[in-house]
Amino acid sequence: MDLADSAELARTAGELRDEVAHLTREMRSCVLDLHHDLVGEAGVADAIAGCVRRIAARRGLRVHVLLEETGPRLAPELELQVLRIAQEAVANVDRHACASTLWLTLRRHGCSLRLDVEDDGVGGAKPRPGHLGLESMRQRARQLGGDLTVGERPGGGTSVVLVTPGDHRETINKGDDRACAADR
């Protein structure tokens, strides 16, 4: 082995070490997001805000977040579905968009909600072989009785929009609290 081979080997080993470190950070982030739970009074808006803060801090993204919640809370299992959709959309910005800015808006009025996640990145989000993120978001949206659209953001980037109607939900009593629950 000559010096040129040794230098090339050292460079390749360094690149592999950097990639393993990057993948380890990604896995830790995914595990934290999967274990994130909507506990107590926090609600879905606070959980989504925490997810956005973590990714923005790690990636150095500028973020614009608007959270509006009124009326009874969603049932915990529905809040969890909304959170998972938001997490996946924000994670996709982190992983694939090469964006500098992220806009997230959640407007929830009782059982009806709209979640918009937009970025100024490369755009072109579409399902890829071996990747289930977009399909899992669509399945979760259907479980909520809603629709998920993924498209180009005007001015560049990607737009992910979740819309759920409130009229197909029933309100159930839980003590003095009222919560929106999926049709039974």
Instruction: For residue 152, give the CATH number of its domain.
Output: 3.30.565.10
What's the pLDDT at 117? Answer: 96
106 strand-pairing partners? 67, 115
Domain of residue 52: give its range.
36-181
Provide the H-helix boundaries in 123-183.
Answer: 133-143
Tokens of 67: 């959270």
**Residues in the chain, pLDDT under 70:** 1-4, 22-41, 126-131, 167-184
- Angstrom distance (rounded) from CA 137 to CA 83: 10
Burial (CB count within 10 angstroms: exposed 0-12, middle 13-18, buried 19+), residue 54: middle
108 located within any domain: yes
Residue 178's pLDDT is 47
Look at residue 168 in the predicted model and tell me its pLDDT.
Answer: 39
Q: Is residue 150 part of a domain?
A: yes
Distance CA 162, CA 119 (A): 15
Query: Which pLDDT score, from 0 to 100, does residue 106 have?
Result: 96
37 within 8 A of 76, measured Cβ to Cβ: no
**Confidence at residue 128, expressed as pLDDT on a 0 to 100 scale:** 67
Residues 17, 15: Cα–Cα separation, whole Å: 5
**2 in a structural domain:** no
Domain count across the chain: 1
Q: What is the pLDDT of residue 82?
A: 93
Whether 86 is in a domain gets the answer: yes
pLDDT of residue 39: 43
H or E element in which residue 91 lies: helix 76-92
58 part of a folded domain = yes
* Residue 31 within a domain: no
